[in-house]
Protein backbone atom coordinates (compact mmCIF):
# COMPACT_ATOMS: atom_id res chain seq x y z
CA UNK A 1 0.00 0.00 0.00
CA UNK A 2 1.25 3.45 -0.84
CA UNK A 3 0.80 6.38 1.52
CA UNK A 4 -0.79 9.50 0.03
CA UNK A 5 -0.62 12.87 1.83
CA UNK A 6 -4.38 13.45 1.52
CA UNK A 7 -5.24 10.17 3.29
CA UNK A 8 -7.64 10.73 6.19
CA UNK A 9 -6.87 9.43 9.70
CA UNK A 10 -3.19 9.16 8.79
CA UNK A 11 0.16 10.12 10.29
CA UNK A 12 3.40 10.51 8.34
CA UNK A 13 6.83 10.69 9.99
CA UNK A 14 9.29 11.74 7.31
CA UNK A 15 12.89 10.68 6.81
CA UNK A 16 15.20 12.59 9.15
CA UNK A 17 12.42 13.24 11.69
CA UNK A 18 12.72 11.73 15.20
CA UNK A 19 9.66 11.52 17.43
CA UNK A 20 9.68 10.51 21.11
CA UNK A 21 6.21 9.69 22.35
CA UNK A 22 2.97 8.02 21.41
CA UNK A 23 0.99 7.91 18.18
CA UNK A 24 -2.66 6.78 18.14
CA UNK A 25 -4.42 6.71 14.78
CA UNK A 26 -7.40 4.70 13.60
CA UNK A 27 -6.00 4.71 10.06
CA UNK A 28 -2.51 4.60 8.60
CA UNK A 29 0.79 5.44 10.27
CA UNK A 30 3.70 5.72 7.83
CA UNK A 31 7.18 5.89 9.36
CA UNK A 32 10.15 6.92 7.22
CA UNK A 33 12.00 8.55 10.14
CA UNK A 34 12.37 7.31 13.73
CA UNK A 35 9.72 6.79 16.38
CA UNK A 36 10.79 5.98 19.93
CA UNK A 37 7.74 5.20 22.03
CA UNK A 38 4.38 3.66 21.21
CA UNK A 39 2.25 3.39 18.11
CA UNK A 40 -1.33 2.13 17.97
CA UNK A 41 -3.01 2.15 14.56
CA UNK A 42 -4.97 0.31 11.91
CA UNK A 43 -2.17 -0.06 9.36
CA UNK A 44 1.50 0.52 10.14
CA UNK A 45 3.83 1.12 7.19
CA UNK A 46 7.54 1.31 7.99
CA UNK A 47 9.60 2.42 5.00
CA UNK A 48 13.19 1.37 4.32
CA UNK A 49 14.57 4.31 6.31
CA UNK A 50 11.98 3.93 9.07
CA UNK A 51 12.74 2.76 12.62
CA UNK A 52 10.22 2.07 15.38
CA UNK A 53 11.72 1.37 18.79
CA UNK A 54 8.94 0.70 21.27
CA UNK A 55 5.53 -0.86 21.72
CA UNK A 56 3.57 -1.46 18.52
CA UNK A 57 -0.08 -2.46 18.26
CA UNK A 58 -1.72 -2.52 14.84
CA UNK A 59 -4.30 -4.42 12.85
CA UNK A 60 -1.84 -4.88 9.96
CA UNK A 61 1.78 -3.97 9.34
CA UNK A 62 4.01 -3.80 6.27
CA UNK A 63 7.66 -3.51 7.27
CA UNK A 64 10.52 -2.48 4.98
CA UNK A 65 12.52 -0.78 7.75
CA UNK A 66 13.07 -1.82 11.37
CA UNK A 67 10.83 -2.49 14.38
CA UNK A 68 12.24 -3.36 17.81
CA UNK A 69 10.55 -4.28 21.11
CA UNK A 70 6.96 -5.42 21.82
CA UNK A 71 4.96 -5.93 18.64
CA UNK A 72 1.32 -7.05 18.30
CA UNK A 73 -0.17 -7.29 14.83
CA UNK A 74 -3.74 -8.57 15.00
CA UNK A 75 -4.01 -9.71 11.39
CA UNK A 76 -1.23 -9.71 8.77
CA UNK A 77 2.42 -8.89 9.45
CA UNK A 78 4.35 -8.48 6.20
CA UNK A 79 8.15 -8.25 6.37
CA UNK A 80 9.73 -7.08 3.12
CA UNK A 81 13.22 -8.06 1.92
CA UNK A 82 14.77 -5.02 3.65
CA UNK A 83 12.63 -5.37 6.79
CA UNK A 84 13.79 -6.29 10.31
CA UNK A 85 11.50 -7.26 13.17
CA UNK A 86 13.21 -7.80 16.53
CA UNK A 87 11.83 -8.43 20.00
CA UNK A 88 8.67 -10.15 21.14
CA UNK A 89 6.12 -10.21 18.38
CA UNK A 90 2.59 -11.56 18.13
CA UNK A 91 0.80 -11.83 14.81
CA UNK A 92 -2.31 -13.29 13.19
CA UNK A 93 -0.64 -14.26 9.94
CA UNK A 94 2.85 -13.58 8.65
CA UNK A 95 4.38 -13.10 5.23
CA UNK A 96 8.16 -12.80 4.85
CA UNK A 97 10.01 -11.93 1.67
CA UNK A 98 13.41 -13.47 0.99
CA UNK A 99 15.94 -11.34 2.89
CA UNK A 100 13.48 -10.21 5.58
CA UNK A 101 14.82 -10.72 9.12
CA UNK A 102 12.93 -11.87 12.19
CA UNK A 103 14.69 -12.09 15.53
CA UNK A 104 13.23 -12.72 18.96
CA UNK A 105 10.23 -14.59 20.25
CA UNK A 106 7.14 -15.08 18.09
CA UNK A 107 3.65 -16.18 18.92
CA UNK A 108 0.67 -16.53 16.62
CA UNK A 109 -2.64 -15.13 17.85
CA UNK A 110 -4.41 -17.84 15.85
CA UNK A 111 -6.21 -15.32 13.64
CA UNK A 112 -6.58 -16.47 10.04
CA UNK A 113 -8.06 -14.34 7.30
CA UNK A 114 -10.93 -15.77 5.32
CA UNK A 115 -9.84 -17.63 2.24
CA UNK A 116 -11.82 -19.53 -0.36
CA UNK A 117 -12.12 -23.22 0.42
CA UNK A 118 -9.36 -25.31 -1.12
CA UNK A 119 -10.51 -28.24 -3.20
CA UNK A 120 -8.70 -31.50 -2.60
CA UNK A 121 -10.08 -33.10 -5.74
CA UNK A 122 -7.70 -34.31 -8.41
CA UNK A 123 -7.17 -31.69 -11.10
CA UNK A 124 -8.85 -32.29 -14.43
CA UNK A 125 -6.33 -33.65 -16.89
CA UNK A 126 -6.00 -31.95 -20.23
CA UNK A 127 -6.20 -34.20 -23.26
CA UNK A 128 -2.89 -35.16 -24.80
CA UNK A 129 -2.14 -33.58 -28.16
CA UNK A 130 -2.59 -35.92 -31.10
CA UNK A 131 0.52 -36.81 -33.04
Share of the chain above pLDDT 90, in %: 69
In the chain, which ranges are continuous DSSP H helix?
none
Which pairing describes strands 101-108 and 34-46: parallel, antiparallel, or unpaired? Answer: unpaired
Average pLDDT for residues 99-119, to the nearest whole number? 72
Provide the pLDDT for residue 7.
Answer: 73
Torsion angle defined by CA atoms of residues 98, 32, 84 and 37, in that order, rounded to the nearest 10 degrees: -160
SS3 49: coil
**50-65: per-residue pLDDT in tens?**
999 999 999 999 999 9
**5-40: per-residue pLDDT in tens?**
677 788 999 999 999 999 999 999 999 999 999 999
Rounded Cα distance, 55 and 30, in Å: 15
Higher-confidence residue of 52 and 1: namely 52
Spatial neighbors of 105 by CB under 8 A, at least 6 apart, are 87, 88, 89
**55-104: per-residue pLDDT in tens?**
999 999 999 999 998 999 999 999 999 999 999 989 999 999 999 999 99
Provide the pLDDT for residue 124.
Answer: 43
Amino acid sequence: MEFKPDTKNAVFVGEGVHINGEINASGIVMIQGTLTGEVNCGLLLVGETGVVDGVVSATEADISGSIRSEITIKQLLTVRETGRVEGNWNYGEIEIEKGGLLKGRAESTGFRSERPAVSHEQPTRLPRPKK
